[in-house]
Structure 1
Amino acid sequence: MSHTLLGLPYDEWIDAFLPMDDSKVDYMKYNRLFDGIVVGEKDSDMYEPLVRTDKDKKKADGGMYPKGSSAIEQKRTDWATVEVIIECKATDSDPFDERASSGIPHAVTRRDTLAQVMTYASTVFEYQHLTHHFGVVILGTQARLGRWDHSGIVFSSKFDYEEEPAKLARFFWRVAHATPEVRGHDSTATRILPGSADYKTLEAWKAKELAEDDYVARRFVKSLTEHRPWWRLTVADRKHGKEDFLVGQPTFAASGVVGRCTRGYIALSVSGGHGDSPFVYLKDCWRVVHERSELEGDILSYLNGKGVANIPTALYHGDVEDHRTISQDFCKCAKAGCVSEVVRETEEHVMEEEDMPENAEEERKRVVHETSDKNVEKTLDGAGDELLNEATGATSSESNRQSMEGVVDETGDYQHEDDETRDDLYTYTASESLTAFRCRMKLHRHYRLVVKEVGLPLQEFPCGRILVWAIRDAVIAHQDAYEKAKVMHRDISVGNILILPPNGENKQSTYRGLLAEWELSKPLDHNMSDACYPNHAGTWQFMSVHIQDFPEAQIEIADELESFLHVMIYCAIRYLPHTCKNVGDFMYRFFDDCVRRRDAQYTCGALKRLVITTGKLTTLTNEPITFLRRPRLPDPQTRRPSKHSEKFSECPDRLLKVSKKDMHPINVLMTPLLQCITARYRLFHSQLIDSEDSESEEWTSSSSDDDDDDDDEPLDDKEDRLRAQNELKSQSKKIETHEYMIKLLKKASDAYAHLWPGPEDRLPDQRDSTFHLTKPKQMSLKREGPAPDPGEQPANKRLRCGASRE
């Protein structure tokens, strides 16, 4: 969430977000209102006095609630009804820093507070349907007001509520007298309460006897938990009008506040259903508004009309009233009149002139000059705070406390053990250069989409063969979209492939895979017209190495097919038997890791690059990974399975040899795909070396003409080199279209179906939920491309680029 925090003066903040004529309110009577709040050593010492200051008892511990809320009597947080979250800190652990260009403070204690209030806000958005949410942070005798929406967070300036109690009283008064819409409530989402007709309808579904294979109805009933509120949601479609749906707990909910924050529901159609089932799938999200962006429902309808197979069927969709974010409207530029761009000087803090040590500016200029032309990289054991937090919408204060394994600190930052001391000192980072960037806050619009099919997550595949089957269907969908509709998906990920099991409702006799989430897709002609437009968005874990390295390059079929392979590896390493000893470590290093360059951009992590460039699935320490037909617990004496033997992950390497009869068929499938992908990268690097050699020869030709005969490369070496290059071209060409991969997947899942094990190869998740490296959080969901570089990179540093770059 870096660069999604802003600060405004108190008066500007209160009038912008809670506009109201309170000129007749006598705030003088509140002069001594907050005197009873004693700032002690514990934060909890402040709660009760703060609550007692409200004579109407509208506030409970840690929040402001409507009258009648059970939270008031029970003195507990009710996330479904809280109107304002209040966080008290006995010390000045301010979550916002006006001096930092990103707004994020440097001190760990202050970042902890930011993480805490962001977690509270995220939970409120998860339980309620809101356009925005208000909060108060009490910092000793001072306070800040906050407003969260899906574009960012805007804090008010700090004020002393003991010296100026009217400021805090004005906020609470205005919230209490504001309309539900001003308080952030979504008027198209109606809470279903006990005794209502909708409530009785849902209770009737909970009481029904459902068929064993009716997985949709069973999952819908399971979503009707008593721990989450139920809702009636309205979808306004410009062609069909308004349609209402009843939902319970979402089956999927993206974490965080900032971003699209997608939620998915199995929904009961109030109008009676569509086809043989009354259930549909409803997606609620906040889409990014861009001049070239299209509504996902329009994209799906277009693809449906073109006969694209294995994709969802669009029913209804549309923006939700006039719901839009407004935080980005306050993101101002250093130049007068600019509201879309912000100039920032360094990756961390910008030093004020009076805070700078002597000769610091001269030293900075010297370092910038020395490093500006170097491609210096430093490896992060994870995605890095900026990208990770931006993707998840939450802070990572814990990761800031931890030393990063394998990181060489080349920055020369001043280090201070005392957080408060470090907070007061603006650290000078010598390796960082002046950069300009666009404001990270983006305009979002509230959007809902309803599709006919209700699928299961790919990760719930019943056995390895069905995993391959579903991915095969998704690749066929991708081919259809490319060839029939001239559309590229551009966001292949494990969350965007679904499984439709056979049952009596859908009339299917076998499993079927669906390729969903077409929001980020793009017509092929846009790839050519916007050749250098760096606005890629995708799921970091499953991006190709090429797109991670060059996010401004055009996504090609080979990149998408590589992403499908990453999806297969992701599911197989978590749920199939194999020889990998540390699944958490592999998952983290292969999917989440990255390299941060000097220019603050991110490139592919070390393990994924190793696997793709060698064509072998291994760990970072080069231990090969083999998938097995069934779990093995080798006995140290007989090397045969034994339930009394030690755990497989703890066995010595000498006991882990795999015979052919124990090998899983998915090994044979992955190997040729990896070889084709590896050939693509080797061919690229070979061509790059040839290009560099050619340029070098041009520079030296005038001085070495007399020695040409002596320097000629031997004929045999040239022939071997040409033969190897032709082989790479032949292998690489196989993934320039979909046919080869589809043929492999079909052959594996159909022709060789008898070779696959049954459900016994499906295991519980092997990734330890408590796994901890240096940054245990995933860099999930979407990552948008970096801001444009000042200059164009040479064409020989792009894989298959030129006119095809995007």
Structure 2
Amino acid sequence: MSHKLLGLPYDEWIDAFLPMDDSEVDYMQYNRLFDGVVVDGKESDMYEPLVNALNGTDILGDFVLAETYARYDKSDKDKKKADGGMYPKGSSAIEQKRTDWATVEVFIECKTNDSGDPYDENTLSGIPYAETRRDALGQITTYASTVFEYQHLTHHFGVVVLGSQARLGRWDHSGIVFSYKFDYKEEPAKLARFFWRVAHATPEARGHDSTATRILPGSADYKTLEAWKAKELAEDDYVARRFVKSLTEHRPWWRLTVADGTHGKKDFLVGQPTFAASGVVGRCTRGYIALSVSSGHGDSPFVYLKDCWRVVHERSELEGDILSYLNGKGVANIPTALYHGDVEDHRTISQDFCKCAKAGCVSEVVEGTENQIVGQDDKEKSPVEEWAKAADENLGKVPGGTWKATGAISSGPNYQSRESQYAERSNDLRTDVVDGNLTALRCRMKAHRHYRLVVEEVGLPLQEFPCGRILVWAIRDAVIAHQDAYTKARVMHRDISVGNILIIPPNSKNKKATHQGLLADWELSKRLDDYAAGARHPDRTGTWQFMSVYIQDHPESQVEIADELESFLHVLIYCAIRYLPHTCENVGDFMHHYFDDGVRKQETDYTCGLLKATIIKNGELITRSHVPIIFLRRHQASPGDPDSQPVESSQLLKKSSNLWTKPATVSKTDRHPINRVITSLLECFAARYSLLYPKLSEEYASEDDEDFPNAFSFSKALGGDKGALRAHNKLISTLTSKLIESHIHMIELLSTASDEMAHRWPGPEDRLADQLDPGFNPSKAEKVREKRAAPAAKPGPQPASKRPRSTTLAADPGEQPASKRLRGSASRG
């Protein structure tokens, strides 16, 4: 969310977002409207007086304010409850005092004072520094995210009441524009004007999507869907069964229109989305199994409909056009595009107000060199020094205009020292000062357009693989799709993630002999011919959890085949750790530190997390305690169970100066075949990183010989020449890393494992329920689920310059870590 918020004075805000003629409304009659609202007690004391004050007037028209703090929405598994909201008359939320995310028009959150203020116009990012205020921002962000998931909106309004003061907020997929605080008890007309305007605005002005029509009981569409719910469906008709399952009574049903430039408008009926990305800012993709009510698309009435907000860029291509191009080139294992197009004129507008956010507008400054920013007369001063000086004087100079500082250094309950606030604000400004370019003054909000895509295939999420062998098979199919796109169409996917690989199981309708993997979501793909044109989007491209270590560390670099293949490996590990038996004792800790974690370099700049970097660079799958992770053929029963098999998963190898461990004691017959797949791939990537980070390899080669018995014996064979040893290791690494410069080796490895060696794999007994506790919350860290964003959490202390090393010796020579095999191969020969 950093740099996705900005504030406007109340008058500018209300006229920008609700520009209505209310000159005939006498707001003076509401002069003492909110005198009864209690502001010096508990939060709950505020609700009823505030609601009654507005409901007792004619301000709200066809709407009513409701207290909804008592009960949560029946369909909300997270059980969130907004304090109140504006609802249509007749809504069950009013009488039941229950939050209803599907019908709320404006949510209201109350705090007793401004210590719970979620916004801060006195920071460059709009995000407050105090933890309690950041928590409040997170709270209302989840409210807004849920409203967007339940309804079809272009934007949404929210009100935050802070004792006797209030703020207004408008959310769209570019960012949040909030109003400066105003005292609604002293100036009741301001809050009254907001509610009058929003209540009398058109549905579109309130954010409603005119191409999404809610299906109500008694309508023809409702009867159509009810008929599907009553049908007897074949056991293997997973598409129809999942469609019917999405028609839950607690979530609204919709008729969605897709406007295709070639085929015209097509209508589809949908229920609950099968996938909904969390958050508000960004693409916010939702996926639906949809029933077509328009003719001419094929035999099956079901398709998959993707609803998202695409980033607008001059070199961006529509995903439907990309898929059609790939389909025409004969790329295997990808969806078949049917219809697509932008939705009406739906576009975000928050980014348009960046230039109006602050008087004179810092964000109007175009990207330029440091000297250009600070002016020729102040070349010796850094941008940060200039900013600090401007903050002190409350007035700064920028070429092309002046800007007024956003406010004095704050004091009060959340007071920070003057020095610490300068330091934090300076860090905001430093964020994008790279190679002399000052880009932090450029607005970070991106323009988005509403977009829908319909494809023929309806796949299952990769996480629903029936057994480990099919998991490997599906990923193999996805790698084949990637290879085809690269060789036949000269297109690089650039967003390999667990959510972008699907499985199509065989059934009587599709006549497939086995499961098929599909590589979907080609929105961020790029033609190789465009690589010379540079990055299309200013941020890292891809999904943070599955980016290669190198791309996380070097976001300015172009994605290569090896980076994409590494992302496939991350997907494999992600699914295996969550759903296959193994010796990792703390799945939540591993998942967080491998996939979500990052090392913060600056306020919003992160590099790869320590655990992920250690595993990939060393070529060994381990926990943070350096315990090797071994996958098992079946779940191990509890120690008291007569069928249990002994697995010692954390025996320490005692050494005086470290906590290195030896592998779990697991017999060969208990080991899962996926171990060799992962180990073989890790070997290739460890070799690549030994070349990308040669100093790391030299550290290993220069260690004491007693810690490296294989290297010691080979060094002796070379007469103790460590230079020759390093040259040998470099040669082996070069040859090994070449295996992932193309797709061939990985496809052959996955094919051999899942096809030719299929008889060695266990069946469905290796598939477990999700081992990741949904309530897992890493201490002092937050999980990150948004695409193309570095972690929002503040990781722990920065790592030392040297990465932790593992000298673990694997029980099975075929599964030794890459560093060991490369050093010891010659001596064993």
TM-score range normalised by the length of the shorter chain? 0.7 to 0.9
Q: Which amino acid aligns with 2:350?
A: S
- Taking the aligned partners of 2:550 and 2:110, their CA distance within structure 1 comes to 47
The answer to whether the 8 A contact 2:341-2:451 is kept is yes
Alignment of 1:406-485 (within 5 A): 420-422=414-416, 427-429=421-423, 432=427, 434=430, 435=433, 436=438, 437=440, 438-485=442-489
Partner of 2:406: none
The residue type paired with residue 325 of structure 1 is T
Output the CA distance in 1 between the equivalents of 2:216 and 2:240.
21
1:666 to 660, 674, 681: 674
Aligned residue pairs, count: 702
- Among 184, 188, 193, which residue is 2:207 paired with? 184
CA distance in 1, matches of 2:214, 2:418: 47
Matched, 1:506 2:510: yes
Q: 2:760 aligns with which of 755, 760, 763?
A: 755
Distance 1:182 1:353, change over 3 A: closer
Deviations 1:378-422 (A, max 9, x none): xxxxxxxxxxxxxxxxxxxxxxxxxxxxxxxxxxxx999x95344
Q: Does structure 2 retain, via aligned residues, the 8 Å contact 1:533–1:552?
A: no
Q: Structure 2: how far apart are the matches of 1:100 and 1:561?
A: 40
**Separation (CA, whole Å) in 2 of partners of 1:355 and 1:577:** 62
Code of the residue aligned with 1:264 in structure 2: it is G
How many angstroms apart in 1 are the aligned matches of 2:480 and 2:473? 11
- SS of alignment partner, residue 414 of structure 2: helix
| 1:66-145 paired onto structure 2 within 5 Å | 66-92=88-114, 93-145=116-168
CA contact (8 A) 1:329 1:339 kept: no
What is the CA distance between 1:340 and its match in structure 2? 7.6
Checking the alignment, whether the CA contact within 8 Å between 1:101 and 1:350 is kept in structure 2 is no
What is the identity, as a one-letter code, of the residue corresponding to 1:669? V
Aligned-residue offset at 1:351: 8.9
2:257 partner amino acid: T
What is the TM-score when the length of structure 1 is the normalising length?
0.82
- In the alignment, the residues of structure 1 paired with residue 199 and residue 361 of structure 2 have an alpha-carbon distance, to the nearest angstrom, of 37
Among 195, 214, 220, the alignment partner of 2:218 is 195
Give the 3-state SS of the residue equivalent to 1:321 in structure 2: strand
Q: Does 1:58 align with 2:64?
A: yes
Q: Which amino acid is 1:520 matched to?
A: L
AA at the equivalent of 1:732: S
Matched, 1:589 2:583: no
Letter in 2 for 1:86: I
The letter of the residue matching 1:303 is: L
Tell me by how many angstroms 1:199 deviates.
0.4
Equivalent-residue separation in structure 1 for 2:250 and 2:389 (angstroms): 48
SS at match of 1:538: coil
Alpha-carbon offset, residue 616 of structure 1: 1.1
Answer whether contact 1:463 1:759 (CA < 8 A) is retained.
yes
Of stretches 494-503 and 137-146 in structure 1, the one that deviates more from structure 2 is 137-146
Shift of 1:745: 0.7
Q: How does 1:121-520 map to 2 (within 5 A)?
A: 121-272=144-295, 274-332=297-355, 339=364, 353=391, 420-422=414-416, 427-429=421-423, 432=427, 434=430, 435=433, 436=438, 437=440, 438-520=442-524
Letter in 1 for 2:90: G
1-structure distance, mates of 2:536, 2:237: 48
Letter in 2 for 1:3: H
1:648-670 CA distances to partner (integer Å, 9 max, x unpaired)? Answer: 87999999411111111111112
Q: Is the 8 A contact 2:303 2:454 kept in 1?
A: yes
Partner of 1:627: 631
Q: Contact 2:604/2:790 (CA < 8 Å) preserved in 1?
A: no
CA contact (8 A) 1:634 1:655 kept: no
Q: CA deviation at 1:541?
A: 1.0
CA distance in 2, matches of 1:183, 1:743: 54
Q: Are the counterparts in 1 of residues 628 and 663 from structure 2 also a CA contact under 8 Å? A: no
**d(CA) in 2 for partners of 1:731, 1:650:** 31
What RMSD, in angstroms, separates the aligned Cα atoms of the two structures?
3.1
Q: Report the Cα offset of residue 718 of structure 1.
A: 5.0
CA distance in 2, matches of 1:495, 1:120: 24
Q: Contact (CA 8 Å) 2:647, 2:666: kept in 1 or not?
A: no
2: CA distance between counterparts of 1:771 and 1:533? Answer: 33
Match of 1:606 in 2: 610
Q: 1:729 aligns with which of 731, 734, 759?
A: 734
Q: Secondary structure at the match of 1:176?
A: helix
Distance verdict in 2 for CA 1:686–1:656, change over 3 Å: closer
Do 1:119 and 1:256's aligned partners in 2 also have CA atoms closer than 8 Å?
yes
Change in Cα spacing, 1:137 to 1:462, as seen in structure 2 (3 Å) is: same
Deviation digits for residues 664-699 of structure 1 (CA, Å, limit 9, x no counterpart): 111111222111111111123339999xxxxxxxxx
Contact preservation (8 Å) 1:589, 1:607: yes
Letter in 2 for 1:119: T
Task: Specify the alignment match of 2:772 in structure 1.
Answer: 767
1:733-773 deviation per Cα after TM superposition (whole angstroms, max 9, x unaligned): 11111011101111111110100000000111112223232
What is the distance in 2 between the residues matched to 1:747 and 1:480? 19
Question: Aligned runs of 1:23-62 on 2, under 5 Å?
Answer: 23-53=23-53, 54-55=55-56, 56=58, 58-61=64-67, 62=84
Q: Secondary structure at the match of 1:668?
A: helix
Which residue does the alignment assign to 2:579?
575
Question: SS of the residue aligned with 1:332?
Answer: helix
1:579 shift after superposition: 1.2
Distance in 2 between the 1:94 and 1:476 partners? 51
Task: Please give the per-residue CA displacement for 1:462-482, whole angstroms capped at 9, x wherever unaligned.
Answer: 000000000000000000000
Q: CA deviation at 1:74?
A: 2.4
Check whether the contact 2:158–2:169 (CA below 8 A) recurs between aligned residues.
yes
Conservation of the 8 A alpha-carbon contact between 1:277 and 1:505: no
Instruction: Pick closer, same or farther for the CA change 1:582–1:338 going to 2, 3 Å.
Output: closer
Secondary structure of the 1:225 match is: coil
Of 562, 567, 579, 1:558 maps to 562
Q: Which 10-residue stretch deviates more, 580-589 or 531-540?
A: 531-540
Kept after mapping to 2: 8 A contact 1:552/1:785: no
- Asked if structure 2 preserves the Cα contact closer than 8 Å seen for 1:320 and 1:446, the reply is yes
Cα 1:499/1:173, change in 2 over 3 Å: same
Report what 2:17 is aligned to.
17
Q: 1:423 to 1:184 in 2, by over 3 A?
A: farther
Q: In the alignment, is residue 738 of structure 1 matched against residue 743 of structure 2?
A: yes
Query: Which segments of 5 or more consecutive residues in structure 2 lack a partner in the other structure?
Result: 68-83, 368-372, 374-381, 397-408, 653-660, 699-717, 792-829
What is the alpha-carbon distance in structure 1 between the residues aligned to residue 52 and residue 747 of structure 2?
A: 68
Per the alignment, do residues 635 and 35 of structure 1 end up closer, same or farther by CA in structure 2, a change over 3 Å counting?
Answer: closer
For residues 649 and 767 of structure 1, what CA distance do their matches in structure 2 show?
18
Distance 1:179 1:448 in 2: 24
Of structures 1 and 2, the one with the larger relative CO (CA 8 A, separation 6+) is 1
C-alpha deviation, 1:534, in angstroms: 5.2
Give, in whole Å, the separation in 1 of the partners of 2:721 and 2:170.
71
Match of 1:400 in 2: none
SS state at 1:234 partner:
strand
Contact 1:129 1:186 in 2 (8 A): yes
Mark the CA change 1:769 to 1:722 in structure 2 (over 3 Å): closer, same or farther.
Answer: same
Distance 1:310 1:650, change over 3 A: same
Match in the other structure for 1:5:
5
Which ranges of structure 1 fall in alignment gaps of 5 or more residues?
362-413, 691-712, 787-806
Change (3 A) 1:574 1:715: closer
- Alignment match, 1:675: 683
State the TM-score, normalized to the length of structure 2.
Answer: 0.80
SS in 1 for 2:423: coil
Distance 1:714 1:686, change over 3 A: farther
